[in-house]
Amino acid sequence: MFRAAVNLAILALMALPQAALALTGQITNLSGAVVARGADGVSRILSIRSEVIEGDELVTADNSYARVKFTDGSEVVMRPGTQIKIDAFRFEDGNPDRDSFVVSLLKGGMRSVTGLLGRRNPGRASYNTPTATIGIRGTHFGALVCNNDCASVPSPTGSPPANGLHVDVADGRIVVTTAAGALEFSLGQFGYVASSTVVPVTIPASQGIRETLPPQAIVATMGGGGGVGRAGELECVIR
């Protein structure tokens, strides 16, 4: 019994440095409720300044909004009813060879701004969705996944957006890739992917679906594009 207890204590101590290295970022803005489910299956309710780590799955409730700031300066704004998973995150100031940033948008919509990791190692930063992978190139972009659940999202036609992935680029470039091919989108462009087996297509601006912030967020007019931003660009705060 005693030896078993000692062994468990040693294992717990050995795990502490790994847990510290797993720190990914924190919730910097929040309106409503957001829940994180860790890789161990344990769920926790998050608040302002709550830490998030690699492996966490984050879910915003209806009428809720959350902003995650990663330790490299990357930012993700989650709209109501959104689910993302932090698949991989490794960032050390002096060790770019270990960089890794992979986030899955499983449901709903988000806006994202690239941090230091994505700017110095764009090939090691990406967002996965059910229909395509989004590669970033120093970017501020929006993404919306629809699966018969986008009735509340405004569109130019007044009808719910079509099922699939909708993207818009406010700064920089993104590359959207499916099993059928890839297409690059740059500043001011809109894109759509119907499924993982078709090539992404460009949508005219007059028909594009822009992922906007929920009503709880006030967007300052320091820059163009709307959404989440770095210093000197767009900032968002909670009413």
In a domain, 12, yes or no: no
pLDDT at position 20 over 80: no
In a domain, 200, yes or no: yes
Residue-wise pLDDT for 160-201, tens only, equals 999 999 999 999 999 999 999 999 999 999 999 999 999 999
> Is 18 a residue whose pLDDT tops 90?
no
**pLDDT of 64 over the 70 cut:** yes
Burial class (CB in 10 A: 0-12, 13-18, 19+), 228: buried
pLDDT class of 55 with cuts at 50, 70, 90: very high
Identify the H or E element spanning 177: strand 173-178
- Nearest 5°: the CA angle 79, 80, 83 is 80
- What is the reported pTM? 0.82
Give yes or no for residue 67 having a pLDDT over 80: yes
Number of domains within the chain: 1
Q: Which domain holds residue 173?
A: 23-213
Q: In CATH, what number is assigned to the domain containing residue 52?
A: 2.60.120.1440
